[in-house]
Amino acid sequence: MSFRRTFLFGLIWRAALLLLTVFAFVEAVEREGLGAARLLAGLICLGAIAELWRFVQRTNRELARFVDAVRFGDLSQNFTHRNEGSGFGEFGEALEQGIRRLREERHRLSDANRFYEAVLDDAPTALLTVDGEGRVELANKAARRMLVRHKGVRIEDFRDYGDAFAGSLTDVSVGQPRLVPLTLDTVPQTAMVSAAAVHRMGGTVRVIAVQPIQGELNAVEIAAQSDIVRVLTHEIMNSMTPVTSLAHTAADLIAEADGGNDPAISDARAAVETLARRADGVMHFVESYRQISRTPEVRRRLFDAAPWARELEALFRASPSAEGVGFKLTVVPDNLTIDVDPDLMCQVLINLLKNGAEAALGHASVPAVSLACFRSKGGRLQIDVADNGPGVPEDLQGDVFLPFFTTKPKGTGVGLSLARQVVLAHRGAISLDRSPEGGALFRIVI
């Protein structure tokens, strides 16, 4: 309001001055002998016109400068006009407040964008974007850490993680998550893949969220198996305890009654003693399975891999199953450090090496096993145990880690199940594949 009154006042007195000078100039022209007055009146009239033009144009220029600053995003312009009179101080301050408000809004939006970019980039779930032309971009750190094996930005390039995963980048429907097999660090696992549609720059972009859930699935499976084993072993032991006790009592009674003169009593004694031994065997067998129902307590620590691996080699060579079996140890780099429970992982690897040695001894002319420790492309610890035995048939590879399952005539089916529990307790994964020598390859990734 102050600028309006001041500007109106300035415009009126300049217009009035112009009218007066025009009137004076006309009067001087109509009268004789006033040449000097005509010249002076004309000059004053031209000055009044120039002043009125400057006054009006100055306002237009400032408005045009303000509009250009907004249009081109140049919010660094200054519109302060102090001590210049004619209301331009108030006018400039009004424009300055407007440009300042735009600056503050830009800073607010910039801060908000940085915040949401940080939230997106640091989100724990891997996010990918797929545009209308099939170009795939890794949208955050989680995706860049997880998907490190491919080269390129086409959907076909993501087949390094499995055909099903590459197909899911376009096949998964919006709002309908799907479980998809995913190969990371050469270890197959399962991931939850979901999609959303986002409009960007006039087009639609698919945002794909990839959440590996194999660890959770394994935990549920192990818990279910442990519950089953706990119930079964409890019931079996409750039933077998009196049977074992009675069998031993009967064996002792018949032993006292057997004088060696009656073949029937001798046969009965042999049968009852056999029954007692088998009852003890069943109790021992069931007791061994109770280990599966106990979750191993992991005490992780950081240590050098090479000395630890050499101790593993010494332990393996000292075992009877290592006789006549070659051993190859690889640790890359030499100063590799690992973060695991050394005792539990040692138990796992010794069992795997013994299994591999037993398989190789009965198959290869030059039996051999190998142990390799290194970092995968994703930066995780990878431990490979391989042999040149017959390997595990492909149709049985999915069963070898199940409790009670064994391919050995005298096996209990406990070793590999416990190995899997230990690895899962480390938040890792263990898988079985075929080694380059044709035998079994157990791969642990942590």
Pairing of strands 429-434, 440-445: antiparallel
Mean of pLDDT values over 90-110: 80
CB 440 within 8 A of CB 434: yes
Q: What is the pLDDT of residue 193?
A: 94
Q: Could you report the per-residue pLDDT of 170-187, keeping only the tens digit for each?
A: 888 888 899 999 888 777
CATH number at residue 416: 3.30.565.10
Same domain? For 346 and 316 the reply is yes
Q: What is the pLDDT of residue 293?
A: 61
- CA-to-CA distance for 416 and 432, rounded, in angstroms? 11
Structure tokens at 337: 């450090």
DSSP string, 329-373: EEESSTT-EEEE-HHHHHHHHHHHHHHHHHHHHTT-SS-EEEEEE
Q: Could you report the per-residue pLDDT of 62-86, keeping only the tens digit for each?
A: 777 777 777 777 777 777 655 554 4
pLDDT averaged over the chain?
82
Instruction: Inform me whether the pLDDT recorded for 324 exceeds 60.
Output: yes
Same domain? For 205 and 245 the reply is no
CATH number at residue 207: 3.30.450.20
Same domain? For 273 and 160 the reply is no
Choose the final residue of a domain: 212, 247, 269: 212
Same domain? For 104 and 146 the reply is no
Choose the final residue of a domain: 240, 271, 293: 293
Residue 309: which pLDDT band, with cuts at 50, 70 and 90?
A: very high
Same domain? For 51 and 160 the reply is no
- CA-to-CA distance for 143 and 122, rounded, in angstroms? 10
Q: What is the pLDDT of residue 349?
A: 94
Quote the domain boundaries for residue 420.
301-445
CB 231 within 8 A of CB 286: no
The residue ranking higher by pLDDT, 28 or 133, is 133
Q: What is the pLDDT of residue 174?
A: 86
Phi, psi of 180 (to 5 degrees): -130, 135
Instruction: Inform me whether the pLDDT recorded for 122 exceeds 60.
Output: yes
CA torsion, points 328, 331, 334, 338, in degrees to nearest 10?
-150
Q: Collapsing DSSP states into helix, strand and coil, what is residue 71?
A: helix
The residue ranking higher by pLDDT, 55 or 214, is 214
Q: Collapsing DSSP states into helix, strand and coil, what is residue 375?
A: strand
Q: Is the pTM of this model over 0.85?
A: no
In this structure, is residue 275 part of a structural domain? yes
Q: Could you report the per-residue pLDDT of 205-262, keeping only the tens digit for each?
A: 999 999 988 877 777 777 776 776 777 776 777 777 888 888 888 888 888 877 777 7
- CA-to-CA distance for 350 and 319, rounded, in angstroms? 10
In this structure, is residue 226 part of a structural domain? yes
Pairing of strands 368-375, 326-331: parallel
Mean of pLDDT values over 405-424: 73
Number of domains observed in the structure of the chain: 4
In this structure, is residue 119 part of a structural domain? no
Same domain? For 107 and 182 the reply is no
Same domain? For 197 and 162 the reply is yes
Same domain? For 322 and 426 the reply is yes
The residue ranking higher by pLDDT, 351 or 59, is 351
SS (H, E, C) 151-214: CCCEHHHHHHHCHHHHHHHHHCCECCCEEEEEEECCEEEEEEEEEEEEEECCEEEEEEEEEECH
The residue ranking higher by pLDDT, 144 or 417, is 144
Instruction: Inform me whether the pLDDT recorded for 413 exceeds 70.
Output: no
Residue 88: which pLDDT band, with cuts at 50, 70 and 90?
A: low
Residue 18: which pLDDT band, with cuts at 50, 70 and 90?
A: confident
Nearest to 428 by CA among 339, 361, 306: 339
Same domain? For 289 and 309 the reply is no
How many other C-beta atoms can be found within 10 angstroms of the C-beta atom of residue 385? 24
DSSP E strands, 185-318: 187-200, 203-212, 301-304
Nearest to 3 by CA among 105, 113, 116, 79: 79
In this structure, is residue 183 part of a structural domain? yes
- CA-to-CA distance for 305 and 163, rounded, in angstroms? 35
Instruction: Inform me whether the pLDDT recorded for 409 exceeds 90.
Output: no
Same domain? For 222 and 207 the reply is no
Query: What percent of the chain shows pLDDT beyond 70?
Result: 84
Contacts of 425 (CB under 8 A, 6+ apart): 295, 296, 298, 344
Contacts of 116 (CB under 8 A, 6+ apart): none
Same domain? For 441 and 308 the reply is yes
Q: What is the pLDDT of residue 91?
A: 65
CA torsion, points 249, 252, 257, 262, in degrees to nearest 10?
100
Q: Could you report the per-residue pLDDT of 28-54, keeping only the tens digit for each?
A: 776 766 667 767 777 777 887 777 777
Structure tokens at 313: 């080699």
Choose the final residue of a domain: 180, 212, 244: 212
CB 437 within 8 A of CB 388: yes
In this structure, is residue 69 part of a structural domain? yes
Same domain? For 399 and 345 the reply is yes
DSSP H or E segment with residue 431: strand 429-434
